[in-house]
Amino acid sequence: MMRSSNRRVVTTVAALATMAALVGGCGSSDSSSEATSTPAGGTKNAGAAAQVPAAVRSKGTLRVAADATYPPNESIATDGKTVVGMDADLAKAIGGALGLKVTVVNGTFDSIIPGLASGKYDLGMSSFTDTKEREQTVDFVTYFTAGTSFYVKTQGGPAITGLADLCGQKVAVEKGTTQAADVTAQSKKCVAAGKPAVKLSVFPDQNGANLAINSGRADIGMADSPVADYQVSKSNGQFKVVGKPYGTAPYGIAIPKGNGMAKPVLSGLKALIADGRYAAILKKWGVQDGALTSPQINGAIG
């Protein structure tokens, strides 16, 4: 969704019926659905909590947005409403370190940054890649690293080793992701080289992109590496990852620009790294390979 410079786009399969149940109703169909607000778990860190601006402290709750169609990073639980995954668990743990409750809200990916600017959300944790362009609108605290992977049908899928192989291919991605930007840029390169343009289909959420591949309307999916691996593992052998990941870059927790929350969020995250809770959460979701040891504010690469 690497909704990262990356973020998202994945595709899983005929077992998509399974996925639709597993992740699917999951989607963020219209605007957003909200999980029940729960006290954030974990030990309060006095130093980090003291940095929280008075206006946020008095409110007592952080409203955190995620597009819950991107497992294992974020998806909807079997109750049909609760957002679960690496990002939801980290959000609650960071909230706990800051002495705040957390409400995780499910909304479409491309609506989250505008929602931060309008005050609808306090944080966005949805596998955002920290990019220089996005840093013009929001602040980021880096917390994970991932690249983009390609995946295709195991039987009859095209041979893809990198972006240059996408010329003339049918690719499905989620709106607002860096994958969408990457494919658009590559399509221009294809045309300039006298090759067919990429046949790009863009969908409001990841479930739509998944269904396009499953139905044959698209042949290639692109997603952050941990997400692509997860989708393939749930496809009952119908999909496979191809080529090598590219564009490894940090995920960032998105925060309204200059509102005073970047430093306390960074301090809270560092406390989780120091006491082992950060590593435990990543291990729980099988994404420990993307762990960061030195998070920072606005750490876009390039």
Tell me the CATH number at 95.
3.40.190.10
126 in the same domain as 25: yes
21 in the same domain as 64: yes
280 in the same domain as 172: no
Q: Is residue 214 part of a domain?
A: yes
279 in the same domain as 131: yes
Q: How many CB atoms within 10 Å of residue 29?
A: 14
Cβ proximity of 153 and 210 under 8 Å: no
81 in the same domain as 221: no
- Within 8 A by CB and 6+ apart from 284, the residues are 86, 89
Q: Residue 27 is part of which domain span?
A: 16-146+248-290
Query: Of the candidates 212, 228, 247, which is a domain's last residue?
Result: 247
Q: Is residue 265 part of a domain?
A: yes
Q: Can you say whether the dihedral through the CA atoms of 215, 220, 224, 229 is positive or negative?
A: positive
Q: Is residue 295 part of a domain?
A: no
243 in the same domain as 253: no
From first to last of its 302 residues, the chain has per-residue pLDDT tens of 455 434 433 333 333 333 333 333 333 333 344 543 444 456 899 999 999 999 999 999 999 999 998 899 999 999 999 999 999 999 999 999 999 999 999 999 999 999 999 999 999 999 999 999 999 999 999 999 999 999 898 888 999 999 999 999 999 988 888 899 999 999 999 999 999 999 999 988 777 877 888 888 999 999 888 888 888 888 888 889 999 889 999 999 999 999 999 999 999 999 999 999 999 999 999 899 899 999 999 999 86
232 in the same domain as 254: no
264 in the same domain as 209: no
Residue 259 CA to residue 261 CA, distance in Å, equals 6
Q: Is residue 298 part of a domain?
A: no
The distance from CA 45 to its chain's CA centroid, rounded to whole angstroms, is 26
Q: Report the candidate in 28, 18, 20, 124 with the shortest Cα–Cα distance to residue 81.
A: 28
Q: Is residue 132 part of a domain?
A: yes
199 in the same domain as 98: no
- Tell me, what's the pLDDT at 69? 87
138 in the same domain as 271: yes
Q: Is residue 9 part of a domain?
A: no
pTM, to two decimals: 0.76
253 in the same domain as 216: no
114 in the same domain as 39: yes
Domain count for the chain: 2
- Strands of the sheet containing 123-124, edge to edge, are 32-34, 101-107, 61-66, 123-124, 239-256, 138-153, 220-224, 170-174, 199-203
Residue 26 CA to residue 113 CA, distance in Å, equals 20
Tokens of 177: 């992701």
